[in-house]
Amino acid sequence: MARSSVMLVPVRLLATTRRSLCSRAPSRSETCARHVQRLTNRFVAFALAMGFAAPLTAWRYSQNAPPAHHVIGQSFRDCRTYCPEMVILPPGKFTIGSPMNEVGRGTDENPQKVVTIAYALAVGKYPVTRTEFAAFVEDTGWKLGPCEHWDGRSFRIERGVYWSNALHQTSWHPVVCVNWDDSQAYVQWLSRKTGKYYRLLSESEWEYAARAETTTAWYWGNNEADQCRYANGADLSAKAQGVSPAGAVSCNDKYPHTSPVGSFRPNKFGLYDMAGNVGEWVEDCYQDTYRDAPTDGSAVESCMPKFHNARVMRGGAWNAIPAWLRSASRDVEIPSTRADSFGLRVARTD
Ligand SMILES: [Ca+2]
């Protein structure tokens, strides 16, 4: 049997298994897709360990990647009017978490572990914008509740403030005031509209995307003085308007609140605003250690009552000091909370 025919056997078997699993679901539901992806990741991890790296990576790419005419590093949209622009990241390995000597690190950023992203991953080039999110609200009538406002000292509910009128934003600003449930509703709607599988990034996928093959504290290096060229954080302009917590960076990025997406330099994967602007919900339930965290790019799906079933948010925001903008920094939030520094970014794997 020719080599290509040999490889087609497991491909057909797995394709059949995939169809079988999904056929038992009432629709091509998110739950089914997640389940299939988890099984596939395990299969690939096993096969990689057995030495079938090259053919399986190619197979995994063909199963999970966006259409074949898209290539790694390039961007695409699945529709012209409201679909987020996506960048295809290469498969690879990285170390999640921070070294013990990293300044400003949290105690939940260890133990450091090698994570393998054995598949091509399409990630939003920017956080989801107001225009993109508005298309979802208009189409579905989804209702979002009131929003907490950061006043420089604390978050508190502002009467009459919602995602649609917070922070004097324009259409190219990242949407804010979305909670984890709103984010899930958005990606499920986007999946239905496009026929593709959109979802939130897992926490490890997010850090892989943010680091972009760097191991430094920030994706621009280890110098916080460079922050204002790469990220919209708590800066001198935020300090001047009284919306900065203590510890703002000593440079001026000119945006006391959110900035239009893409206003700062991208990381090496061509992704913008992976630090600052808005915090980005990820899929994972929060655990205060990486001890039991998966190493195949999948998410932690078991939420813990002792952490109030909190989910993880990544990237810091316009009100974040340099330590919170580090690639390894983790934020913990209650899934029902909406705040004017909370946003989202999407991923697509098939
Ligand atoms: Ca700023």
* DSSP secondary structure code for residue 82 in this structure: S
By mean pLDDT, which of 63-67, 96-100, 276-280 is the weakest? 63-67
User: Mean pLDDT over residues 245-256, rounded?
Assistant: 95
Q: Return the residue matching tokens 């679901």.
A: 25
CA of 256 to the centre of ligand 1 (A): 4
CA of 249 to the centre of ligand 1 (A): 9
Looking at the chain, the whole-number percentage of residues with pLDDT higher than 70 is 80
H helix and E strand count, the chain: 8, 13
CA of 153 to the centre of ligand 1 (A): 16
Return phi, psi of residue 157, to 5°: -65, 125
| pLDDT computed for residue 231 by the predictor | 98
CA of 11 to the centre of ligand 1 (A): 49
| pLDDT computed for residue 350 by the predictor | 76
CA of 325 to the centre of ligand 1 (A): 12
CA of 10 to the centre of ligand 1 (A): 51
User: Mean pLDDT over residues 323-333, rounded?
Assistant: 98
Mean pLDDT, the chain, as a whole number?
Answer: 85
Return phi, psi of residue 314, to 5°: -130, 155
CA of 183 to the centre of ligand 1 (A): 24
Place 69 in a pLDDT band, splitting at 50, 70 and 90: low
Q: Is the pLDDT of residue 120 over 70?
A: yes
| pLDDT computed for residue 73 by the predictor | 81
Cβ–Cβ < 8 Å for 126, 262:
yes
Cβ–Cβ < 8 Å for 348, 85:
no
CA of 243 to the centre of ligand 1 (A): 10
Q: What is the pTM of this model?
A: 0.81
Give Cα separations from 196 to 17, 25, 82, 348 (angstroms): 19, 17, 14, 7
Cβ–Cβ < 8 Å for 48, 118:
yes
**CA–CA dist 282, 202 (Å, integer):** 6
Phi-psi region of 210 (alpha: psi -120 to 50; beta: other; left: phi over 0): alpha
Two tokens, residue 117 = 């992203």
Q: Is the pLDDT of residue 27 over 70?
A: no
Helices 30-49/180-194 angle, 10° precision: 90
301 SS3 class: coil
Q: Return the residue matching tokens 């001198």.
A: 236
Two tokens, residue 19 = 């169809």
